[in-house]
């Protein structure tokens, strides 16, 4: 049963990493001798620190908002059972179909004062031109909103499913002891789905660290140059396809991978993610 996954992992995970590691040491445009200097040059590029700052702000806004909102909405969905529960779950999934270029286009129309169906509201707030919204210092917030509404719905349904795995006996015992809905949610349900939330946090962090589509499309089509090299993945793309520096692009990509792995390992073992699975010794 594990074999198909192992084949895919090797073909689309391990082999590309090995190829990237080899490429990152090969001669590049700015480094004819190749080697570890590719990594140093990627870090010293004048666009690296601004991109790092942008992604850092994006993650600080995106990851907590996803974890808090998804946990609260899934708890509400699990607590308030009724005729609208199923339609609500379906409604949460719908925004997830608007991803990539479609999501950027939708949010461009929503936020553009001259085109938005909410233009009367925007005008009442004093926003009459797109330039008042689409500014460099607003981009992190805009990209967080885009990413949140395309990703939160799926995770709400996933976490709702994790809440369904909690034994009714545990919840009934809590009610007999006098716990109200708030206490059951905060003291019983949340601790029991902690590992699912940790898993979600790891994937959300990894996806946020690699943000690319939203700034790339905004910069290349809607507002040319506004979000040029805004993210680290965009910088890697520029290295490879604008500067012909595949060594630097591979080096930067591997550094992002290492950050994701270190972050995941730290969170997993700090939260006892494998507790009870025979991994961690007592």
pLDDT digits (tens, 9 = 90+) for 172-189: 999 998 988 889 999 999
Alpha helices (H) along the chain: 3-9, 15-23, 37-44, 48-79, 85-93, 101-111, 119-124, 139-164, 168-176, 181-183, 190-192, 194-209, 213-217, 232-241, 246-270
Q: Exposed, middle or buried by CB within 10 Å (0-12, 13-18, 19+), for 18?
A: exposed
pLDDT value, residue 143: 94
Nearest to 258 by CA among 34, 28, 21, 29: 21
Q: What is the mean pLDDT of residues 49-74?
A: 95
Going by pLDDT thresholds of 50, 70 and 90, the confidence category of residue 84 is confident
Q: Is the pTM of this model over 0.75?
A: yes
Nearest to 81 by CA among 70, 89, 71: 89
| Cα(91)–Cα(76) distance, integer angstroms | 15
Q: Which two tokens stand for residue 134?
A: 């689409």
Q: Check pLDDT > 70 for residue 76.
A: yes
pLDDT value, residue 275: 65
The 10s digit of each residue's pLDDT in 242-260 is 989 999 999 999 999 999 9
pLDDT value, residue 279: 38
Fold adopted by 35-270: MetI-like fold (1.10.3720)
Going by pLDDT thresholds of 50, 70 and 90, the confidence category of residue 274 is low
Give me the residue label for tokens 């909103």.
145
Backbone angles phi, psi at 28, to 5 degrees: -130, 175
Nearest to 143 by CA among 92, 210, 43, 242: 210
pLDDT value, residue 104: 85
The 10s digit of each residue's pLDDT in 113-147 is 888 999 899 999 898 888 899 999 999 999 999 99
Q: Check pLDDT > 90 for residue 281.
A: no
């Amino acid at each position: 049963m594990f074999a198909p996954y192992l084949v895919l992992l090797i073909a689309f995970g391990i082999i590309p990493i090995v190829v990237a590691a080899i490429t990152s040491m090969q001669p590049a445009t700015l480094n004819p001798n190749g080697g570890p200097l590719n990594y140093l040059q990627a870090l010293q590029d004048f666009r690296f620190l601004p991109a790092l700052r942008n992604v850092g702000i994006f993650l600080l806004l995106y990851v907590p908002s996803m974890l808090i909102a998804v946990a609260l909405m899934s708890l509400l969905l699990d607590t308030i059972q009724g005729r609208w529960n199923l339609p609500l779950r379906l409604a949460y999934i719908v925004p997830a179909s608007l991803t990539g270029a479609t999501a950027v286009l939708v949010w461009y129309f929503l936020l553009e004062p001259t085109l938005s169906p909410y233009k009367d509201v925007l005008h009442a707030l004093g926003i009459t031109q797109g330039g008042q919204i689409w500014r460099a210092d607003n981009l992190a917030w805009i990209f967080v909103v885009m990413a949140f509404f395309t990703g939160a719905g799926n995770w709400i349904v996933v976490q709702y499913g994790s809440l369904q795995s909690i034994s009714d006996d545990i919840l009934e015992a809590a009610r007999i002891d006098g716990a109200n809905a708030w206490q059951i949610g905060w003291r019983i349900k949340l601790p029991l789905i902690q590992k699912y939330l940790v898993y979600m946090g790891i994937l959300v962090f990894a996806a946020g660290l690699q943000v690319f589509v939203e700034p790339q499309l905004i910069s290349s089509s809607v507002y040319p140059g506004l979000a040029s090299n805004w993210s680290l993945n965009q910088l890697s793309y520029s290295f490879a396809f604008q500067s012909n520096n595949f060594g630097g692009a591979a080096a930067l990509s591997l550094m992002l991978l290492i950050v994701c792995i270190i972050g995941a390992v730290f969170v997993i073992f700090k939260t006892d993610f494998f507790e009870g699975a025979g991994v961690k010794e007592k």
